[in-house]
Amino acid sequence: MPKYLTVKPIEMESEHSLVLLHEEDAEELGVYIGDRLKLSTSSSSLIAIVNLTTKMVQPGEIGTPVEVSREMGLNVGEIVMVSPVPQPTSVRAIRKKMEGKHLSHQEIGEIVTDIVRNNLTSTELSAFVVSEYTQGMSMDEIVSLTTHMVETGEKLHLEVGPVVDVHSIGGVPGNKYALITVPIAVAGGAVVPKTSSRAITSAAGTADIMEVLADVSFDLGEIKEITERVGGLIAWGGAVKLAPADDILIRVERMLRIDPRCQMLASVMAKKLAVGAEHVLIDIPTGPGAKVENRSEARSLAQSFMELGRRLRVEVEAVITYGGQPLGRTIGPALEAREALETLLGRGPNSLVEKSVGLAGLMLEMVGIVPTGRGKEVAFEILRSGKGYEKMRQMIEAQGGDPNVKPEEIPVGEKKEVIPANEEGYVTHIYNDRITAIACTAGAPRDRGAGVKLFVKRGHKVNRGKTLFEIYAEHENKLEEAIKMTRKNFPMRIEGMLLEKVSERPREW
């Protein structure tokens, strides 16, 4: 039976449509924590998840957090009709996947639709992500997941082309390639509407770095206008509803510290399809400390991306790049923005130039602007001539930034600690995860000026007292914590040429 309750707006935010009921009202309605209620007024209705309280609302009241009040247009004291509703059918599909069974196109569609509508509880969302991780998905299921994620979100329709996009699966500190690759490709004639993520566990996402130089939050109309006028942009994907189910699932993945391969494939391709990409280049960094540590696994992942592309009628090429140490010499938003501009000005480190130019060249080849095999040469000439830098200036200006900013004018953290070598030898290893942890402890990415600047890389000879790296921070206490972390888990291994003495045991006669 329905029940009428008085609205009491609650100043709290929730990722889901949530309401608060007094335990007496919940008992009368026959609902428990995690059950669902339909809220109805004369002009709107909403399905919400129940939470119980004895203090925040009184019997006869219903607590409506900010999102619910806004969506339904509820005001304090208004009367709403509430009635229990059954668990969505998508929960049965999630349970089916937990048992290792194949899901139909329709069942996956039900799950994605309920994710986007916030009809699933945190527990149900977690169950789905864990089932993806433990049970996996067939390619048919991944295709269904991808197409449903695209269909439940907005789409970018451009009147220019050819549209090409690039994506790195990440896992490497300092992976700022996009700020060099995209303007080079656009300067060469490609159209690149690159929507990127902010950092979740890393020290700087592409959107965080670009935001140092210009605005990255645009609606779909603004992305269309800038892309058609300039040829490309680098924007934050979270500002638009491109494959919105993906953003929700990613938050669950990060909380659980798992990255289901099937979800990664669907996630990447859904975002690219949503911006109208006809050609997609996938970068798979590989090496010790990277997300993918060996080439056989990288090749398998590359084949999966290409097969998914064939099924979705999108040209996909994949490249395996070295990811066993940081890319370039900087980690952290402002430091990486500096290094990106320096690279476009012809002063970048070899590793960053090599990767960025190589990817841009492949993008130009994919869209037929240059012949196969000549892309890298053409991309390098665009960089050398300064055309890539000029295109980046146009992108920065179109996105509301200062196109005349110089690398050295970008502010970094004023608090700094120099870390010297305490012995002579060669750098034999740099631990990606430790470098990232130090930069994050120093404040990155929230504090844009925080991060790490490397002065040596793997294979470099160092003398005692030589600077290995510098830590930057905006706050003294964060710098101190980063220094403590450095001492606890030093991010480099330095060894001499003599690694070990091996002696034969004396013979016994």
Q: How far is CA 374 from the centre of its chain?
A: 31
In Å, how far are 78, 392, 402 from 341, measured between CA atoms?
56, 9, 13
With pLDDT > 90 as the criterion, what percentage of the chain qualifies?
83
- The pLDDT confidence band at residue 71, using thresholds 50, 70 and 90, is confident
165 is catalytic: no
**∠ Cα 8 13 14 (to 5°):** 105
Query: 53 - beta bridge partners?
Result: 22
Q: Is the pLDDT of residue 499 over 60?
A: no
- Which CATH number applies to 164-238+271-407? 3.40.1030.10
Average pLDDT on 420-427 reads 94
**Tokens standing for 338?**
């500096």
Average pLDDT on 80-99 reads 94
- List, for residues 394-407, the tens digit of each pLDDT value: 999 999 999 999 99
In Å, how far are 78, 108, 144, 258, 317 from 141, measured between CA atoms?
45, 8, 5, 19, 21
Positions of CATH 3.90.1170.30 in the chain: 412-495
Q: Where are the alpha helices (DSSP H) in 152-260?
A: 178-187, 206-213, 220-230, 244-256
Q: Where are the alpha helices (DSSP H) in 371-451?
A: 375-385, 387-398, 432-441
To the nearest whole number, what is the mean pLDDT of the chain?
Answer: 93
Q: Give the SS3 label for residue 478.
A: helix
Report which of 233, 178, 184, 165 is spatially closest to residue 381, judged by C-alpha positions: 184
DSSP letter at 101 equals P
- List, for residues 210-251, the tens digit of each pLDDT value: 999 999 999 999 999 999 999 999 999 888 889 999 888 988
pLDDT of residue 498: 58
Encoded amino acid at 87, one letter: Q
Q: Where are the alpha helices (DSSP H) in 119-205?
A: 122-135, 139-151, 178-187
**Residue matched to tokens 């004639």:** 189
**∠ Cα 175 491 359 (to 5°):** 15
- List, for residues 319-372, the tens digit of each pLDDT value: 999 999 999 999 999 999 999 999 999 999 999 999 999 999 999 999 999 999
Q: Is the pLDDT of residue 508 over 60?
A: no
Fold assignment, 412-495: Aldehyde Oxidoreductase; domain 3 (3.90.1170)
pLDDT of residue 254: 80
Query: 292 - beta bridge partners?
Result: 286
Catalytic residue among 25, 246, 259, 283: 259
Report which of 171, 389, 189 is spatially closest to residue 298, judged by C-alpha positions: 171
Encoded amino acid at 255, one letter: M
- List, for residues 250-295, the tens digit of each pLDDT value: 888 888 888 899 999 999 999 999 999 999 999 999 999 888 999 9
Q: What separation, in Å, do the N-terminal and C-terminal C-alpha atoms of the chain show?
A: 97
- List, for residues 1-52, the tens digit of each pLDDT value: 789 999 999 988 776 788 999 999 999 999 999 899 999 998 888 889 999 9
- Which CATH number applies to 3-85? 2.40.40.20
Average pLDDT on 193-206 reads 88
Q: Which residues contact 480 (CB under 8 A, 6 or more apart)?
A: none
pLDDT of residue 241: 87
Positions of CATH 2.40.40.20 in the chain: 3-85
- Whole-structure pTM value: 0.88
Positions of CATH 3.40.1030.10 in the chain: 164-238+271-407
With pLDDT > 70 as the criterion, what percentage of the chain qualifies?
97
- Kindly report the number of other CB atoms within 10 A of residue 502's CB atom: 5
